[in-house]
Amino acid sequence: MPEDDKPEVKPAQAAPPAASKPPVAKAPAVMAVSPWEGELPSSLNQRFGDQVPEFSTYLGQSFLVAKPEAVIPILKVLRFEADFDYLVDITAVDYPQRPERFDLVYILYSFARNQRIRVKTQIADGYKPATATAVHLAANWLEREVFDMFGIEFDGHPDMRRILLPEDWEGYPLRKDKSILACDNKWIEEHLGIEGGQ
Amino acid sequence: MPDQTFLDSTELVLNMGPQHPSTHGVLRVVLKLDGEKVLGADCVIGYLHRGVEKIGENRTYQQFAPYVDRMDYCAAVSNGLGYCLAVEKLLNAEAPPRAQAVRVVLTELNRIASHLIWLGTHALDIGAITPLFYVMREREEILNIFEKYCGARLTTHAFRIGGLQYETYDGLEEDVKAACDHVLPKIDEYERLLTGNRIWIGRLTNVGVLNAADCKQYGVTGPMLRAAGVKWDLRKAQPYSGYQQYEFEIPTGTNGDTYDRYLVRMEEMRQSVRIIRQAVEKIPGGPIMAKIPKVIKPPVGEAYVSIEAPKGELGYFIVSDGSIQPYRLRVRPPSFVNLQALDQMTRGALVADVVAIIGTLDIVLGEVDR
C-alpha cells in the first residue's frame, strides 16, 4: 500500500503547476525600474553623492530616493537652481513590515522644463522629517494632511494640527494597521451622542 | 496697515460657516477682523471627509471608479477620466481612439457645466441673481446628454478603465452639436449681463489678487493660475486622451484678480465648445475598450497621472502591489490646494470681498474634504 501511494501523490503534486500558471501570476515583487539618466540626475549625484542612493524611472516617470535628512536641501536645489518651482503634492505610503515604515513622496513640477519628478524618502515611525514650508508654501496643508492621516510630524512646521479630522481625534486612519471600519468611538460618543461610528 | 496697533482691542473674530450660503458647502472660515478689514482667515475643513483614499485601498480598481465621481460632483466626468488614465498608465494600456474622442467630448461638456455652476453661484454671491437661473437652463442641456449616454446626470461614472462602458447612443453627435449651438450664444448673453456691469466690475476688480509667483508658491493651478498670466494648461503641456489633435487657445489674464479669473473662465467655456465641435466632428470608429484583463492587477509599481480638471490639476498617485486592490491611492485635489491661498487672498480685503474670493476660488467641498 505505501508503495502504491507514492506514485499517486506525485502526479497530484505535479498537476497544479501545470494547470495554473504561477510564473505569470507571480509578477516581480519589486518595481521594474530602469535607471534615470541625464543632466539633472548626474548633477544631483555629484552634489549629494551617497545621500541620494537611487535615480530611477518607471513608466516614463522619474524619481529619486534620498536619505531623509537630504530631502529639504534637495528640494531647495531643485527649486532655486533647477526651476522645479511647483510642489504638486506631498503624500506618504505605509509599509508596516519595514523598519523604515513610511515612504514620503514629494511630487514636483517645473514649468520651465515641463517635467514632473518625484522625490522619495524612507522614514521610520516616530522620525520627524523637516518641513518643506520654507521652500514651498504649498507644503503647509499638504504636510498637515500627511500628519492627519499617517501621524508623521513635520519638524519646524508652523501649524502642525490635524486638518481633515477633528483636532482631538485619536488614531491615524491611513496607516495599514487601521481597519477601514476603525474609528475613534470615544470621540463619536462624546461629540455626536451616538454609539460608535460603524 | 501695521499688524499690531494700539487699536488691537477692536480685533474681532467672526465665524463664517459651516452653514453659510456663500461658502459653497460646509466650509468654515474663521475671520480675524479689524472693523471691516480682514486680518487673516483660517479655514476649518473636513466636514465632508469620507476617507476616499482609505476606501480606495479596500476596493478593487474597478469598484473604486464610481467613488471618484463623488469628490468633485460638479465635474464627475473629469474625476473619472483622471482615475481611468492613472490605472491605464499602471497597466501600460491606452484607450482606443474612439473612446478617447468620446471622453474628450464628455469631459469638455462637463467643464462647461462646472464653469456654469461656478458662474451662477459666484454671481449670486455678488448679488446678481439672474445668471443663476440662466446657467441652470444651459446646464440642463448638458446633463440631458449625460443622462442619455450613461443614465446618470451628476455622478456619471461615464468611463471605464480601458475605455468606455457604453457605446454612444444614436444621435449623440446631433445632441452635442445642438448643445454647443445653444450654449455659445448664451455665454455672450451672460457677458452682456456682467462683463460691463459697473457693480460687477467694482466688486471684482483688484479683489483677491494672486500673482503668478504666489500661485506657484501655493501650488494654485487651473483658471486661477492662468488669470495671473501663466499660460499653462495640462491639456497643452502634457496632452492626454488625444488633446494634441484639437486646436484651442489657453486664455490668460494679466492682474490675477477676481475679474480676470471671471474672464478666463468665460473664455474657457468658449474654448471647450471649440474642442467639442472638433472632437464630435470626427469621432473615429472602432472598439470602445482596450484589451485589458477582466481582473485588473497592475504590476508592482507606482504612477502619478494628472489632468486639467475644471478647477485645476487633478492628480492620482497610485501604488500597486500587484494585487487587485491599490496598495495606496492618493488624490491630489485642486480645490484643496487652491483653498490654501484663501488666507493670502483675503488679507487686507473687506468682509464683503471674502464672499467674492471664496466664489472665485471655485471650490467643491466634496473634493476638499474627500
pLDDT of residue A49: 82
- Here the CATH number for the domain that contains residue A72 is 3.30.460.80
Split into its structural domains, chain A has a count of 2
Q: Are residues A115 and A177 in the same domain?
A: no
Chain B hits for A61, CB-CB cut-off 8 Å, are: 303-304
Chain A hits for B53, CB-CB cut-off 8 Å, are: 149, 174
Q: Does B244 touch chain A (CB under 8 A)?
A: no
Band the pLDDT of A60: cuts 50, 70, 90: confident
Q: Do A163 and B46 touch (CB under 8 A)?
A: yes
Strand duo A61-66 + A115-123: pairing: parallel
Nearest CA in chain A to B48: A164
- Distances from the Cα of A135 to the Cαs of A87, A156, B267, in angstroms? 9, 12, 34
Q: Are residues A184 and A101 in the same domain?
A: no
Residue A184 in any domain: the answer is yes
Do B26 and B16 form a contact (C-beta atoms < 8 A)? Answer: no
Mean pLDDT over the full length of chain B: 88
Q: Are residues A142 and A191 in the same domain?
A: no
Look at residue A11 and tell me whether its pLDDT is greater than 60: no
Residue B177 in any domain: the answer is yes
| pLDDT tens by residue, B213-224 | 989 889 899 999
The residues facing B319 across adjacent strands are B302, B328
Exposure string (b/e) for B327-364, b if CB count within 10 Å is 16 or more?
bbbbbbbbbbbbbbbbbbbbeebebebbbbbbbbbbbb
Q: Which domain holds residue A55?
A: 19-164
Look at residue B85 and tell me whether its pLDDT is greater than 50: yes
Do B215 and B256 form a contact (C-beta atoms < 8 A)? Answer: yes
Residue B140 in any domain: the answer is yes
Q: Which domain holds residue B315?
A: 53-337
Q: Does B73 touch chain A (CB under 8 A)?
A: no
Residue B114 in any domain: the answer is yes
Residue A12 in any domain: the answer is no
Percent helix / strand / coil, chain B, rounded to 5? 50, 15, 35
For the ranges A21-25, B143-147, B199-203, the lowest mean pLDDT is seen at A21-25
DSSP A139: H
Residue B34 in any domain: the answer is no
Residue B14 in any domain: the answer is no
Exposure string (b/e) for B255-271, b if CB count within 10 Å is 16 or more?
bbbbbbbbbbbbbbbbb
To the nearest whole angstrom, how far is the Cα of A17 from the nearest Cα of chain B?
Answer: 20
To the nearest whole angstrom, how far is the Cα of A29 from the nearest Cα of chain B?
Answer: 6
Q: Are residues A149 and A72 in the same domain?
A: yes
Residue A14 in any domain: the answer is no
Q: Does A112 touch chain B (CB under 8 A)?
A: no
Residue B44 in any domain: the answer is no
Nearest CA in chain A to B90: A59
pLDDT of residue A107: 93
Look at residue A8 and tell me whether its pLDDT is greater than 80: no
Look at residue B365 and tell me whether its pLDDT is greater than 60: yes
Do B55 and B69 form a contact (C-beta atoms < 8 A)? Answer: no
Radius of gyration of chain B (CA): 21
Residue of A28, A88, A173 lying closest to B300 (CB–CB): A28
Q: Are residues A122 and A138 in the same domain?
A: yes
Site of grid cell 522629517: A129
Q: Does B238 touch chain A (CB under 8 A)?
A: yes
Q: Are residues A95 and A180 in the same domain?
A: no
| pLDDT tens by residue, B152-187 | 888 888 888 988 888 888 888 899 999 999 999 999
Interatomic CA distance for residues B165 and B288, integer angstroms? 8
Q: State percent of chain B over pLDDT 70.
A: 98
The residues facing B25 across adjacent strands are B20
Interatomic CA distance for residues A106 and A135, integer angstroms? 12
Chain B hits for A178, CB-CB cut-off 8 Å, are: 54
Residue A8 in any domain: the answer is no
To the nearest whole angstrom, how far is the Cα of A144 from the nearest Cα of chain B?
Answer: 12
| pLDDT tens by residue, B218-251 | 989 999 999 998 999 999 889 998 898 898 999 9
Q: Do A166 and B299 touch (CB under 8 A)?
A: no
Phi–psi pair at B24, nearest 5 degrees = 55, 45
Residue of A85, A87, A164 lying closest to B45 (CB–CB): A164
Q: Do A149 and B53 touch (CB under 8 A)?
A: yes
| pLDDT tens by residue, B307-331 | 999 999 999 999 998 889 999 999 9
Q: Are residues A54 and A75 in the same domain?
A: yes
Band the pLDDT of B11: cuts 50, 70, 90: confident
Q: H or E element: which one contains A9?
A: helix A2-19
Interatomic CA distance for residues B225 and B233, integer angstroms? 9
Q: Which of A24, A64, A86 to mutate to test the interface with B (most CBs of B within 10 A)?
A: A86
pLDDT of residue B307: 92
Helix (H, G, I), strand (E, B) or coil at A74: helix
Q: Does A80 touch chain B (CB under 8 A)?
A: no
Do A28 and B300 form a contact (C-beta atoms < 8 A)? Answer: yes
Q: Are residues A103 and A171 in the same domain?
A: no
Phi–psi pair at B336, nearest 5 degrees = -60, -50
Residue A4 in any domain: the answer is no
Q: Does B136 touch chain A (CB under 8 A)?
A: no
Q: Does A89 touch chain B (CB under 8 A)?
A: yes
Q: State percent of chain B over pLDDT 90.
A: 32
DSSP calls for A121-135: EEE-TT--PBPSTTT
Q: Does B272 touch chain A (CB under 8 A)?
A: no
Residue B41 in any domain: the answer is no
pLDDT of residue B7: 53
Split into its structural domains, chain B has a count of 1
Interatomic CA distance for residues B238 and B233, integer angstroms? 8
pLDDT of residue B102: 92
pLDDT of residue B4: 57
Interatomic CA distance for residues B257 and B135, integer angstroms? 23
Band the pLDDT of B2: cuts 50, 70, 90: low
Q: How many CA atoms are closer than 13 Å to the CA of B210, on its beta-carbon side?
A: 31
Q: Are residues A99 and A134 in the same domain?
A: yes
Grid cell listed for B338: 487652491
Residue A129 in any domain: the answer is yes
Residue A188 in any domain: the answer is yes
Interatomic CA distance for residues B149 and B164, integer angstroms? 11
Q: Are residues A142 and A197 in the same domain?
A: no
Residue of A93, A114, A166 lying closest to B328 (CB–CB): A93
Q: Are residues A118 and A43 in the same domain?
A: yes
Radius of gyration of chain A (CA): 23
To the nearest whole angstrom, how far is the Cα of B260 from the nearest Cα of chain A?
Answer: 21
DSSP calls for A121-185: EEE-TT--PBPSTTT-TTHHHHHHHHHHHH-PPPBT-TT---SSS-TT--S-TTSTTS-TT---H
- Here the CATH number for the domain that contains residue B270 is 1.10.645.10
pTM of the model: 0.86
Q: Do A58 and B300 touch (CB under 8 A)?
A: no
Interatomic CA distance for residues B264 and B187, integer angstroms? 12
To the nearest whole angstrom, how far is the Cα of B113 from the nearest Cα of chain A?
Answer: 26
- Chains A, B: CB pairs < 8 Å: 99
Interatomic CA distance for residues B274 and A13, integer angstroms? 64
Q: Are residues A127 and A155 in the same domain?
A: yes
